[in-house]
Amino acid sequence: MPSKFFSPHTSEDKIFKEIVACELKSKNILATLLSNDLVPGVRSRAAYALGRIGAQAETDTVVPFLATALIEDVDTSVRLSAADALTVMKEKAKAATPNLVYVLLNDQEPQVRINAAMALGNMGREAKNAVPNLTKALLNEKDSAVQWHITYAFSSIGAEAKEAVPALTEVLLSNIKPEVRSRAIDALNSIGAEAKNAEPNLREVLINDVDSGVRRSSAYALSSIKANPRITLSTLSNALFKEEDPIVRMAIADAMVAVGVEFQKRKSNLSDVDLKQSIQELRKSLDSTRKDRVNSVSDQQISTIQVLITTLQEELDSRWVNQWTKYFSLTWLAHAAFWLALIVAYPKSPQVQAIFFWNPKMRKYLGLFYVSLLLAWVPWLRQKLFEPFRVSLLADAGLDRFKPDRYFPDSEVCLKGTEDRRALTAVCPNLQGQRILEGDSGLGKTMFLRYLLQQSQRIAVYLPATKCAEGVIEAIQKKLHGDEIKDTQFLQSLIYSGAMDICIDGLNEVNPDTRAKITQFVESHFKGNILMTTQPLEWTPPATAKTYVMQPLRPDQMAAYLLSRQPVLSQSYPVQGEAYAHACRTFLTQTLGDQTTLSAEELKIARSILSNPMELTLAAAMIAGGQHPDLFNLREQQYKLMAAEYQQTWNRPFPLKKFAHAIYQQWLEDEKALPADTFYNELLGMEDEKFRMVISRQWQDAKGDAQKEWYFRHDKIAEFFLVQTFLGDEPDAEAKLVDHMGDPRFRGVYFLLATLLPLDAAQRLREDLIQYAADTKDHTVSDTFVQLLRSR
């Protein structure tokens, strides 16, 4: 219908100029034009003008006209202008919400739908009633530009659009347009905490989306939602490590700060676990930001993260202090009483020993960590801990057979590399520190160890080096009876703290690998108390230990030693008292003073033999028995005396060859207990007080039956029997000479062979040993063999 103000022939431009000139005064006229004018351009411009007027007016009286045109006008440009006019009016266009929603759902023109979504978005929270239809429109919409503006509307509405979260999440995961996904995330960001259900999807997008803008938006959205700050913080931290885009890294750092601040606000309500894990994640991200090579994370962000870590850590620390202060007294007293009761029951109860004190898990958790510390560093508790095992730890030392009055206390040593002789008991008054005693066989190294162990009130363990093939710790564990006592770390801490003194005897009797294990153990436990003995050999001793060399007895000490043996010799010997003392002085005078009988070399050897306490002990027994010691065949002389008595007792010769072969086989298997089932009578004769070639050990087995084992009193005695298998017409004697050159178990046998083999055979063996030493760099046997052979 023609307007009553303008004729149908008036140009559109002229009409529009007139409209603009009077738009502030003519809302009714514009509304009429919008409703009735036949020219689409006029209606469109009228809508445009009404929107500007409505935006500036105090009321929204133009909205009904625009809303009607939005739905009823058939011209797209008019609907576009009407929607645009409502967009300009923002929240004043609230009354047009139903019409805008209708257009959004039904209009065929994408741009009209876009303008309608924009109009709803510009209303902000006033469009909250449109959320259900906006959600429906978003799900049905195929045009990405329209989708973008719908999500923008949700962003404007904010938390009131929480019903749209599922739809926004669906768009987030399915839409191929990154700008739509990004806008959907912005909408979730605006919805905030009400969008908590979308948090898992946002975390996934942050890590995996290919578009940097989408990842950046998801970081900000996660910081706004804060549904699970701890998990969010972890996701952000992981994303920060993975992200390469500097702008996205900045966004992630901002998000971490925001989530951290939320943590700071909630810290009093958070669990200790959440606090700890959050601190870890913040520290992890802090390390990442410090390593950021592109400076995408600012110093302020780093500083804020540091402050957050400090705040959360202080909260965690304060909780621990408060709880400890509150429950410390009662808990500690009850716990201490419980463990004191266990300590009282400990020595007599294997169950308490295994379950509570030597079980690492029980001691760790039931002991609240401090029990292990006390056991390691409180001397009384350390003593108590090992008290049940004292006998087992010292079993190999044979202290039950050791008599302190048999020990000769005047032995002397020199610090290796010096010539300053000092009393051994003054240098090593106890088992404190780390020392090595080096000396030839028979000088009293093992006797000194027994003497110290007998005198000591501390917990100690005696280990033959041959039992340390698997390691020192393993050898000690075997002496701590019970399969449960295998807490290696705890045992090492006890040794390191000095809870146990360790004696390792006979390093020369083991192979280089075992010595290396012992050396490593000693150096690793440099604060432990460890005393080792060895015969002279080429090796690298522990750097943490001092080496003292046992000195042969001086002539005046030889006499004193022989006289000191009388109280410990058998009372059945015929030579006693002053007669024994006179016989000893006569023997020494004849042996060392009469140079007409012995050559200079023989005299030198005699003095060397008599300077050895082991040989002097044997000489003392022979003197007391009325015999004249043959210094160059003491061991054979001892054997012949024993064999003669055996012949007289049993009316048959001593089975030397058979016995020697049995000992050889046992030595190959590292079995030191002698074969009593086969040689019972022979061992009884050798154990006789007049000869004391073997000693016995008696005990009761688990069934209560009496058991007895025999052992050689000294390796020198064992070597006398072993060497018999290397001599004479033995079929494999030549092979043995070659097979055992590098075997420490047979070291002393080769020294005997230097004097017992025929000279030509001994010279051939010397050459073989020299070749072996040249090939292996092991001179422990060859050098001494050459010296002994030279004396012949």
pLDDT of residue 2: 38
Domain limits for position 43: 1-98
Residues 406 and 544 in one domain: yes
What is the sign of the dihedral through the CA atoms of 10, 16, 22 and 28?
positive
Looking at 550, 576, 602, the residue that finishes a domain is: 550
Phi, psi of 705 (to 5 degrees): -80, 145
Over residues 265-270, the mean pLDDT reads 68
> 452-482: per-residue pLDDT in tens?
998 888 889 999 998 999 999 889 888 876 5
pLDDT of residue 495: 79
| Domain tally, the chain | 4
pLDDT of residue 6: 41
Residues 446 and 534 in one domain: yes
Q: How far is CA 449 from CA 347, 464, 468, 532, 565, in A?
A: 26, 11, 17, 9, 19
pLDDT of residue 126: 86
Q: Is the pLDDT of residue 484 over 60?
A: no
Residues 402 and 327 in one domain: no
Instruction: Determine what percent of the chain is predicted with pLDDT higher than 70.
Output: 80
Among the listed ranges 68-82, 147-161, 588-602, 744-758, which one has the minimum average pLDDT value? 588-602
Residues 434 and 543 in one domain: yes
Residues 397 and 543 in one domain: yes
Over residues 197-216, the mean pLDDT reads 85
Among the listed ranges 14-18, 200-204, 305-309, 758-762, which one has the minimum average pLDDT value? 14-18
pLDDT of residue 401: 74
Residue with the larger pLDDT of the pair 732 and 574 = 574
Among the listed ranges 210-219, 418-427, 603-612, which one has the minimum average pLDDT value? 603-612
pLDDT of residue 24: 47
Nearest to 506 by CA among 475, 551, 463, 544: 463
Q: Is the pLDDT of residue 234 over 50?
A: yes
pLDDT of residue 302: 72
pLDDT of residue 412: 92
Q: At how many degrees (to 10) do helices 110-123 and 76-89 cross?
A: 10
Q: Is the pLDDT of residue 548 over 80?
A: yes
115 domain-assigned: no
pLDDT of residue 463: 93
592 domain-assigned: no
Nearest to 286 by CA among 241, 338, 339, 224: 241
Query: Which range scores top for mean pLDDT: 208-212, 223-227, 241-245, 516-520?
Result: 516-520
Binning pLDDT at 50, 70 and 90, where does residue 656 land?
A: very high
Q: How far is CA 101 from CA 96, 97, 106, 114, in A?
A: 9, 6, 9, 11
Residue with the larger pLDDT of the pair 442 and 59 = 442
Contact 748, 715 (CB under 8 A): yes
688 domain-assigned: no
Residues 396 and 321 in one domain: no
Residues 527 and 436 in one domain: yes
279 domain-assigned: yes
400 domain-assigned: yes
pLDDT of residue 432: 87
* Neighbouring C-beta atoms of residue 625, cutoff 10 Å: 17
Residues 413 and 517 in one domain: yes
Q: Is the pLDDT of residue 113 over 90?
A: no
Residue with the larger pLDDT of the pair 544 and 297 = 544
Nearest to 184 by CA among 197, 203, 194, 198: 198
Helix or strand run (H / E) with residue 344? helix 299-345
User: Mean of the per-residue pLDDT values for the chain?
Assistant: 80
Q: What gap in Å lies between CA 385 and CA 402, rounded to an integer? A: 26
pLDDT of residue 300: 65
Over residues 709-730, the mean pLDDT reads 86
> Which residues are paired to 436 by β-bridges?
532, 547
Residue with the larger pLDDT of the pair 33 and 524 = 524
Instruction: Determine what percent of the chain is predicted with pLDDT higher than 90.
Output: 12
Over residues 211-225, the mean pLDDT reads 84
pLDDT of residue 516: 92
Over residues 610-620, the mean pLDDT reads 83
Helix or strand run (H / E) with residue 282? helix 272-290
Binning pLDDT at 50, 70 and 90, where does residue 365 land?
A: low
Q: Is the pLDDT of residue 546 over 90?
A: yes
44 domain-assigned: yes
Nearest to 44 by CA among 92, 84, 96: 84
Which distant-in-sequence residues (6+ apart) come within 8 Å of 420 by Cβ? 414
pLDDT of residue 7: 45
> Which residues are paired to 711 by β-bridges?
695
Domain harbouring 523, CATH code? 3.40.50.300
Over residues 146-156, the mean pLDDT reads 87
Binning pLDDT at 50, 70 and 90, where does residue 605 land?
A: confident
- Show the beta-strand stretches assigned E in 374-524: 412-415, 421-423, 434-438, 460-464, 501-505
According to DSSP H, which parts of 589-727 are helical? 600-610, 613-624, 634-650, 656-668, 680-687, 715-722
Residue with the larger pLDDT of the pair 98 and 193 = 98
pLDDT of residue 1: 35
* Neighbouring C-beta atoms of residue 704, cutoff 10 Å: 6
Over residues 586-598, the mean pLDDT reads 73
Binning pLDDT at 50, 70 and 90, where does residue 327 land?
A: low
Q: How far is CA 434 from the centre of its chain?
A: 27
Among the listed ranges 338-342, 352-356, 699-703, which one has the minimum average pLDDT value? 352-356
512 domain-assigned: yes
Q: At how many degrees (to 10) do helices 178-191 and 165-174 cross?
A: 150
Looking at 492, 518, 550, the residue that finishes a domain is: 550
584 domain-assigned: no
pLDDT of residue 319: 72
pLDDT of residue 4: 39
Q: At how many degrees (to 10) do helices 370-377 and 379-386 cross?
A: 90
Q: Is the pLDDT of residue 122 over 90?
A: no
Over residues 579-589, the mean pLDDT reads 88
Residues 412 and 330 in one domain: no
pLDDT of residue 606: 76
Which distant-in-sequence residues (6+ apart) come within 8 Å of 411 by Cβ? 423, 424, 425, 443, 444, 448, 550, 551, 553, 613
209-239 burial code (b ≥16 CB/10 A, e <16): beebbbbbbbbbbbbbbbbbbbbbbbbbbbb
What is the sign of the dihedral through the CA atoms of 382, 388, 394 and 398?
positive
To the question of pTM greater than 0.85 for the whole model, the response is no
Residues 504 and 433 in one domain: yes
Q: Is the pLDDT of residue 360 over 70?
A: no
> 296-325: per-residue pLDDT in tens?
566 666 776 777 777 777 777 777 766 666
Q: Is the pLDDT of residue 769 over 80?
A: yes
Cβ-in-10-Å burial (0-12, 13-18, 19+) of 365 comes to exposed
Residues 398 and 321 in one domain: no
> 235-266: per-residue pLDDT in tens?
777 777 777 788 888 888 888 777 777 766 76
Binning pLDDT at 50, 70 and 90, where does residue 275 land?
A: confident
Residues 318 and 453 in one domain: no
Looking at 516, 550, 584, the residue that finishes a domain is: 550
Binning pLDDT at 50, 70 and 90, where does residue 293 land?
A: very low
